[in-house]
Structure 1
Amino acid sequence: MLEAYTIKNMYDLNETIAADLFEGATYPWEVLSKIKDFIAELGPKLPKDKFEQRGEHVWVAKSATVFDSAYLGDYCIIDEDAEVRQCAFIRGNAIVGKGAVVGNSTELKNVVLFNKVQVPHYNYVGDSVLGNFAHMGAGSITSNVKSDKKLVVVKDTQSDDKCETGLKKFGAMLGDHVEVGCNSVLNPGTCIGRWSNVYPTSCVRGCIPDHHIYKNQDNIVPKED
């Protein structure tokens, strides 16, 4: 079992409006197929004094800032004090947390962004879950489909443990406070534990433990206190 990459070890569920989505799941990727239905159920229950409905399945907090040029696709919740900047493209099935930033030309699809997440500059985030205060540097992306189109397997290269996900589309699971450097590519099935950092221009595959620094595939080192 990939114990380090379970929901309880990667995320503070107090830091998302979608906490109930994770109920009954062990691993965060198990919720990817449920995001759309969860939004459809939660949206009508959101307090009308704090949220306004902008489409059949689109709810935006009144305190959020959404620029006119941003696109909000179907099945979308933008939580309080979030900022969706110019030309952001939220394709759908997306939950953007309190105080989160979705930057210019950033694209989201089938994702949960916890509170205070920042994807502020030219990012692509698809079929992924990003924990509280996770940050993706400019140009960094989640690659969510393998080039051979096979199902994604999560592999812990340090322990040789693995998990068959049964998913063809699976981007990355970022724990709370993860920092991803500019122009990095997170390959399908990447999991990064809490408080870990990824060097800029990295090509990441597999799992990175919490409180570690990813320099390259053969150089993943513990953080110093």
Structure 2
Amino acid sequence: MQTVILAAGQGTRLRPLSESIPKPMLPVAGRPIAAHVADAAVAGGADELIFVTGYMGEVVEEHFGERYRDVPVSYATQEQQLGTAHAVAAAREHIEEEFAVLNGDNLYDPESIVELFADGPGIGVFEVENPSNYGVLSVDDGRVTDIVEKPTDPPTNLANAGVYLFPAEARAHLDVPMSERGEHELTDVLARVIENHDVTPVELHRWMDVGRPWELLEANELLLGEQRREIGGDVADDATVEGAVVIEEGAKIESGVTIEGPAYVGAGSTIGPNAYVRGATLLEGDVHVGQAVEVKNSVIMRGTNVPHLSYVGDSVLGRDVNFGAGTNVANLRHDDGEVKLTVKGERISTGRRKFGVVAGHGAKTGINTSLSPGVTLSCGATTEPGESVTRDR
């Protein structure tokens, strides 16, 4: 089974985190999102992975190389992001048979992908509460009969999850007209397949589109909660490690540290002494969490330093961030309302009562800085010692 993984987008809703890391390569449970997608494809029986890259495609290629889990890997470049059908068309020269398509920035459960790959042509669907916000499938006698984009009167609550198994002949149908949204869309390819084939809807048990910073947090909460305990690093005798915690070889847990899982501590990271890590926290690798620091339910990316006497809660810190001593993140509004965050210039609700900050790569805070809920620090941003930051910077 040839499997096309779409990994070309810029991920503008994830800025500043996606400014120097392609969206599919952002970390979830110790690995890039796209690696979890590739794992699901391999579990389903993929015998070739074809990554469609664009924005910072070299990062994807460097990670996956020529083989991934003993499966050969090929690459195609989408020079302009003009829609999903346009992306798959960029890989057309590699496609020779029945083929699957998965989004490189979505999380799927492998069991459902196995089911989809075994019974094609097919499409992954997910039951949603508000189907009017999605492409919605019409189904009759176990077969897909139609797909309608964001209908006012949805025929079902089955949303298109963006994972497909196409017959080989669909390769010839990829040059579809541009839609009203200004994109060449795979749903138009699907419509042509429906005319000539029985298309099976396969309901996914998991589908998560990691499109905004708090969804990266949610993705880590989900997958860290499923991991098994594995202690491989150097753990001090008087440190306490409880629950589903992964500590990679090369990580060091110093005296007096408490880690309450689920948590993932990447290679080269050091925690402590006397630090407290809890609540679905990812330390990607080469992270320093220092003396008397508390980190709760956060994603802290590679090379970041939270040296001592600081608190980070429900936050996402990019790579090579440095928090000065005594930096404290507030993660709860006084009115107990949902925290808002800026996405593409608009303040929108995260849907979360507790959410801290997003710090772009290379951001730095002065000592005793306080950061209000929903603040975004842009890449390379700085704060003054003792400053209270209430607005994006």
Contact 2:321 2:360 in 1 (8 A): yes
Task: Say yes or no: does 1:127 pair with 2:314.
Answer: yes
CA distance change for structure 1 residues 73 and 3 in 2, over 3 Å: closer, same or farther?
Answer: closer
Query: Judging changes above 3 Å, is the alpha-carbon distance between structure 1 residues 60 and 145 closer, same or farther for their aligned structure 2 residues?
Result: same
Give, in whole Å, the separation in 2 of the partners of 1:143 and 1:171: 6
Contact 1:185 1:204 in 2 (8 A): yes
Aligned partners of 2:366 and 2:382 also within 8 Å: yes
Greater strand proportion: 1
1:61 Cα deviation after fit: 1.5
Give the deviation of 1:100 after TM superposition. 0.6
CA spacing shift, 1:42–1:195, aligned 2, 3 Å: farther
Q: Structure 2 vs 1, CA of residues 70 and 206 (structure 1 numbering), >3 Å: closer, same or farther?
A: same
- Corresponding position of 1:25: 210
Bigger-Rg structure (1/2): 2
Could you tell me which residue of structure 2 aligns to residue 213 of structure 1?
A: none
Deviation at 1:77, TM superposition (A): 0.8
- Contact kept? 2:316, 2:358, Cα under 8 Å: yes
Question: Aligned partners of 1:4, 1:93: CA distance in 2, in Å?
Answer: 20
Residue 5 of structure 1, aligned match among 15, 32, 36? 15
- Alpha-carbon shift at residue 43 of structure 1 (Å): 4.7
| Number of equivalenced pairs | 202
The structural deviation recorded for 1:131 is 0.5
Q: Structure 1: any 5+ residue segments left out of the alignment?
A: 209-225
**Alignment equivalent of 2:356, drawn from 171, 185, 209:** 171
SS at match of 1:177: coil
Aligned partner letter, 2:332:
V
The residue aligned with 2:248 is 61
Q: TM-score, normalised by structure 2?
A: 0.47
1:161 and 2:352 correspond: no
Shift of residue 180 of structure 1? 1.1
Structure ranking higher on relative contact order (CA contacts 8 Å, 6+ apart) = 1
Deviation at 1:29, TM superposition (A): 1.5
Q: Which residue, 357, 369, 376 being the options, matches 1:191?
A: 376
Q: What aligned pairs does 1:43-192 form with structure 2 within 5 A after superposition?
A: 43=228, 55-155=242-342, 161-192=346-377
**RMSD, aligned CA:** 2.8
Larger helix fraction of residues: 2
Q: Name the structure 2 match of 1:215.
A: none
Cα contact 1:91–1:108 (8 A) shared by 2: yes
Q: Counterpart amino acid of 2:304?
A: V
| Identity between Structure 1 and Structure 2 (%) | 23
1:207 aligns with 2:392: yes
* Residue 7 of structure 1: how far off its partner (Å): 4.2
Q: Deviations over 1:108-136 (max 9, x none)?
A: 11101101110011110000011110110
Q: Is the 8 A contact 1:174 1:194 kept in 2?
A: yes
